[in-house]
Structures are given as structure tokens and as C-alpha cells.
Structure 1
Amino acid sequence: MKVIQQLNSHATQDGDGVNISRIPGFDGKYLDPFLMIDELKSDDHSDFMGGFPAHPHRGIETFTYIIKGGFEHQDQMGNKKAIRAGDVQWMSTGFGVIHSEMPLADAKEGMHGFQIWLNMPSAEKLRAPRYQDTTEAPAPVTRNDQGVELKALAGSWQFASEEQVSSLQDLAANGMLADVTLPAGTEFKHAPLKQTKVMLYIHTGEINTEQGGPVKAGSLLILEPGSDIEFNSQTGAGVLVLAGEPLKQPIAHMGPFVMTTQAELHQAVRDYQQGKFGTL
């Protein structure tokens, strides 16, 4: 496995004072087609109790994955769902979405989850929004003889001689995501993916790669295009695998809106202010 870049998350806040760790990519330099990786991981309710009250989006896809705890999602399209541990929720916001994500009252054991932003091709940024989650079609899991698990969060994956097909397909930029869990003293191997951009985000424990010492939680490894995927963990680890095809297009970003030009960005703000996104 060839790692060409390592990035580390940094602490910040979003929503109503929610403490998160973030790796931003709005400059398009390293993460394309992904825009942002946010991780919420805390057993202290004060870190996340404010949640994410109603807010808009345009021009992106948002991907929420919950490992522990849960949020209630609600949007102007009429969707209202409890997203709990193991669930994934995906919105292709297109022309515009207004939604909220608030902590579930019964999430007593803390919170661990992600919101990941994926850019949309310029030509699709104004199409109708779409929503899907895995509450009725859970993400499939494959376990090999070492106990290493791959959970197919989005897209189709081949692991341990089995194909796992997530109910979430057709993400922008051929996006795919999986969560890999390694018990202590095991390794993960996967053939090269077809996407040009493949990244590993360590969210639990630490891993070792052939290039050097341990890589701790909160780190993102960007792989050389066409590289195989191979790492091990002596202590146990949880790793998100993210893959997509770079869009190589300009990024105009302002808060919850991501467009291609400044003129499109200003139009997004006007449309939202004029109520064209609808109401929650």
C-alpha cells in the first residue's frame, strides 16, 4: 500500500455548539471529490446536545453514519427518521434541502458518528434533491476467518470472497464508503479499487502500514491511485474507507452551499432567502 499524504483532523464546532473533529477539503487540493470529513465522538452530552437545528444545503451530498448513539433527521421533503447505531443516511441535496439532525433522547451512551460531504458535478447541482437511508435495508457486513469485518456503507464491495452491495448506490463521483473493523493482531487486505481517489480515516485505535509506524485515530491517509489496501493493527482499530472519482472542477463555497462559481453561490443564497428551498 502506497500512502502519498497524511492529514490530521482538528477540533472545531458546528451546529448549535457541537464539538467535532474536521478534515476540510474545500480547496479541492487533497480530498476531491470529497469536501469535508466531520467526526463527532464524545461521551459528554454537553459536546453534542445542541445538535444541528434546521439549516439549508445546495450543491452537495451529505453522508451521515452513526457508530454509537443516534440523531433524528427531518427535512422539507417530508422525511423524518431516527438514525441509530449502524445506520447510514444520504442526501443528494441538488437544488436545495432544509434539514435538521438532533440527538435522540434515548442516546444515553454518548455519540460517535460522521457527516461527510461529497461534491456534485456542476451539471447536477440544481437537480431535484434525493434522500435515502439504511434503516429498512441495513448495511451488509462480511467477516473473514480472522474476525475482520467490512461493512458496506455505500456502493458495492468485494471482501472475503463475498460481494456486499449496499442499498445506497449512485453517489456522486462514483462515491463508495465502507467501515472496516480489525480485532487486535489482525490485518486487512483489499485489491485496488477502481476509483482514482481512495482514502483511509482511522476513527478507533491505531493501524500500522508498511511505510512506517503506527497511525492513530483522527488521521486520514490518501493512497496513490491504483494502490492496493493493506494495513494491520496490534491493538484493534476501526477505519473508514472512502473512494471516489475526482471531479476536477472549481469550488465556490460559503457555509452550507457549494457551487462552481461565485455567481451560482450568490444565487443559492438569494433562492434560500426567498423561500425557494421550502420549509421544514
Structure 2
Amino acid sequence: MIERGLKDVVTPVATSDGAGVRLQRSIATERLDHLDPFFLFDHFGSENANDYVAGFPMHPHRGIETITYMLDGSVAHRDSLGSSGVIGAGDVQWMTAGSGILHEEMPKIGPRRLDGFQIWVNLPAKLKMTRPRYQDVPSSAIPEVARPDGARIRVVAGEVDGVPGAVREIFAGPTYLDIALPAGRTFEQPVPRGHTAILYVFQGEVSVGGAAPSRGPAIRAPHLAILEDGDVVRVHAGGAGARFLLLSAQPLREPYARYGPFVMNTREEIAEALAELRAGTFIKP
């Protein structure tokens, strides 16, 4: 079993998207355009409604899957499939845009802060034009593994200690874990060799590696850590404990062309998507 070491640490960039939602972006920046198959990683969160209330009005996607995971607050959504609803604290929305979808995500002003993540995962060429679909998963359906040492792991996708995640049938074979780790404890998780693996620390600090002499430097919140290849991830929490996401997925190693909300394989496919938007033929029967 080869342990995954620390390859790089990325500091999120403050930016805005949609109609003016302020957020911290770690992937899809000048520093890190993408990390196959991840094409976007955003952390949105604020106690000030002015930072998010404008939301993300109706907009298109094609060629990717988008995953929205809420820590707190709520977001109302609706789309061209006729779906609508509200996702709240602990809920997940896993959207396969496929051949094309129009949707909006509008944060609701509530008594507490808004806090959550959105990630884009690329689709392979053979599935770029697949039928769009949603998987809305309430918090109550996401299993939580409690280990004897106090670690608590929410299994959004993947598997922990024989417990499968709530989201399945995803091409990239992803792992999506939300881990709360007490001070001084170590979390260990196998990750398939060859899969891209990242950590996003949003509370406290961690180090990556086994025994103390071999651990990397402290990674303090909020930072994204890119992991080296290997078979297993070991993460050690600092003196105040930590909470972080562990994400991994199978890289596609295919040509790509990105334009705004589209990720395709060629510039011609991007031009086709834009032409269909103008012609009103973007949404397929």
C-alpha cells in the first residue's frame, strides 16, 4: 500500500459568479484551470445576505456533472426538466447536465449563514450528450460512519468501512466524503491508484502522512490540497481538530474545451452549443 503524499496546496481565490455571488474558488482559476476530471471547485459562504442573495439565475450547462453540497442555509432550484425544490443543510444535489439543461439556483435568506460547495466533474466524450438527470439527496439519506476514535464521516459518494454512499451510478467512480476529525486523530481511507484525489480543509488544520516524521506541512483552512498518486490517504488533525472534504475520481485523459458553463471535447462542440442556444434548440426532447 503506497501512501499518498502532498503534491501541492492551493489558496482559494476570492471571486464572484452568477448575478454577483461572492465565493472562494480553488479550481477554474489562473493558478489551477482544472484537475482532471474536476473542472470547478467553489466554496460559498457568508452571514451577509448581500453576498449571495442575487444567486445564479437561469443558465445552461452541457457536458458535465455539477454537485452542490450544503453545510448550512438553503438554495431553491428549478430547471428545464420541470424539476424544482429546495436543498438545505446537509443535502446534496448531483446534476448530470449531459446534452444540455437550463437551471437556476437561488439562495434563500434565512436566520443562519449560507455555506456550501459546488464542484464540476467532467463527463467522458461518450456521455457528453447523455440525457440530463438530477439526484436530489436529503441529509437524512446520507450515511454517517462514526469511528471509535471520534471521527465522523458523511459518505456522499464512495464507500467507507463497507458503508456505500448515497450517490451512485456515476461514471467517474467518485469518492465524496465530509470528515470531522478530532484533535490529534488520524483518518485513513483507501483511494484507487490512478484516481485524482484532493482535500479541501474548511475548519482547523491537517497534515498528510503517517507517523509524525513523515507528515507534510500543516494545511490550514481554507486551502485545497492536491495529493500524489497512491493507494491510501492518511490525514492527521491538528490541535483544534479539523473538518475537510476528501474527493477523488477517475481522470478522463481526453481533450477538452471549456467555455463558461460548457465543458466539451472540441471548440466546434462549444460553437455548436452556443448556436443551439441562440436557435432555441439547446434542450433536447
SS of the counterpart of 1:172? coil
Distance 1:79 1:224 in 2: 39
1:1-280 equivalences under 5 Å are 1-25=4-28, 31-105=35-109, 107-135=110-138, 138-154=141-157, 156-159=158-161, 163-194=162-193, 196-210=195-209, 211-233=215-237, 234-278=239-283
Query: Following TM superposition, by how much is the alpha carbon of 1:21 offset from its aligned partner in structure 2, in angstroms?
Result: 0.6
Structure 2 stretches lacking a partner, 5+ long: 210-214
Q: Which consecutive unaligned segments of at least 5 residues does structure 1 have?
A: none
Query: Whole-Å Cα distance in 1 between the matches of residues 140 and 149 of structure 2?
Result: 26
RMSD: 2.0
- Number of aligned residue pairs: give it: 274
Give the letter aligned to residue 19 of structure 1. Answer: R
User: How many angstroms apart in 2 are the aligned matches of 1:256 and 1:187?
Assistant: 38
Matched residue of 1:236: which SS? Answer: strand
Q: How far does residue 132 in structure 1 lie from its aligned partner after superposition?
A: 0.7
Letter of the 1:218 partner, please give it: P
CA distance in 2 between partners of 1:64 and 1:245 (Å): 19
2: distance between equivalents of 1:144 and 1:71?
Answer: 31
| 2:212 match | none
Contact 1:62 1:116 in 2 (8 A): yes
Task: Quote how far apart the aligned CAs of 1:213 are.
Answer: 3.0
Instruction: Give percent identity, aligned residues only.
Output: 35
Runs of 4+ aligned structure 1 residues displaced above 6 Å come to: 26-29
> TM-score, structure 1 length as denominator?
0.91
Amino acid at match of 1:265: I
CA displacement, residues 79-109 of structure 1 (integer Å, 9 cap, x when unaligned): 111100110001110110100111124x321
In 1, Cα distance between equivalents of 2:78 and 2:174: 24
Deviation of residue 187 (structure 1)?
2.1
TM-score (norm 2): 0.90
Query: One-letter code of the match for 2:229?
Result: P
How far the C-alpha of 1:44 sits from its partner, in A, is 1.4
